[in-house]
């Protein structure tokens, strides 16, 4: 990591405003219902916590963990669930909360697996959407920000378990 350079892409203030708007939209869309929020570990935990605090509808929480970035920076395309849900989702309104949609492979696979469990509804809220890297068609129902291609860290996102603590979203350059 020697020589890695960090450039702020989204400040904490900009992120906070957008998360509040997303929470308001989700609250309106789910008015009168309870949502099961499914956080995708590890990257989405900070976004998910902020999003939940902004909701005005009841929710419960569970987590899944998927692995597709075996070398730290490039998706392998091989998606494995390493932590599954503990909560049954049949007949429930489920909202997956993910940090970033990159190739679309990971979320497409997760949505496929969860649909088989027959939720009443299943939607996806992605903090970041990197459309330039899409390898399979995938569109999240709620998106915080669409960003250009580049490796991002901060606000829960990491590079080899580093940089999650940063309050801003930053481009990480020279990570060869």
Active-site residue list: 102
Please give the Cα distance from 69 to 73 (Å, whole number): 6
| Continuous segment of H or E residues that includes residue 40 | strand 35-41
Check whether the bond before 42 is cis (ω within 30° of 0). Answer: yes
Residue pair 61/141 in contact (Cβ under 8 Å)? The answer is: no
DSSP for 68-88 reads --TTSSS--S--EEEE--SS-
SS3 12: helix
The structure tokens listed for 128 are 């970041």
Question: For residue 16, what are the CA distances in angstroms to 10, 19, 62, 70?
Answer: 10, 5, 23, 31
Question: For residue 140, what are the CA distances in angstroms to 89, 107, 165, 171?
Answer: 19, 9, 25, 22
């Amino acid at each position: 990591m020697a020589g890695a350079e960090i450039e702020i892409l989204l400040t904490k203030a900009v992120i906070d405003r957008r998360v509040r708007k997303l929470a308001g939209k989700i609250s309106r869309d789910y008015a009168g219902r309870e949502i099961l929020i499914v956080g995708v570990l590890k990257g989405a935990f900070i976004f998910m916590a902020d999003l939940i605090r902004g909701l005005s509808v009841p929710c419960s929480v569970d987590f899944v963990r998927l692995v597709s970035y075996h070398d730290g920076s490039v998706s392998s395309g091989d998606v494995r669930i390493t932590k599954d849900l503990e909560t049954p989702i049949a007949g429930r309104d489920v909202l997956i909360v993910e940090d970033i949609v990159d190739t679309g492979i990971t979320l497409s696979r997760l949505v496929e697996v969860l649909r088989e469990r027959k939720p009443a509804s299943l939607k996806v809220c992605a903090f970041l959407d990197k459309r330039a890297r899409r390898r399979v068609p995938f569109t999240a129902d709620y998106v915080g920000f669409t960003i250009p291609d580049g490796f991002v860290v901060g606000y829960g996102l990491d590079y080899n378990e580093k940089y999650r603590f940063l309050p801003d979203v930053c481009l990480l350059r020279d990570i060869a």
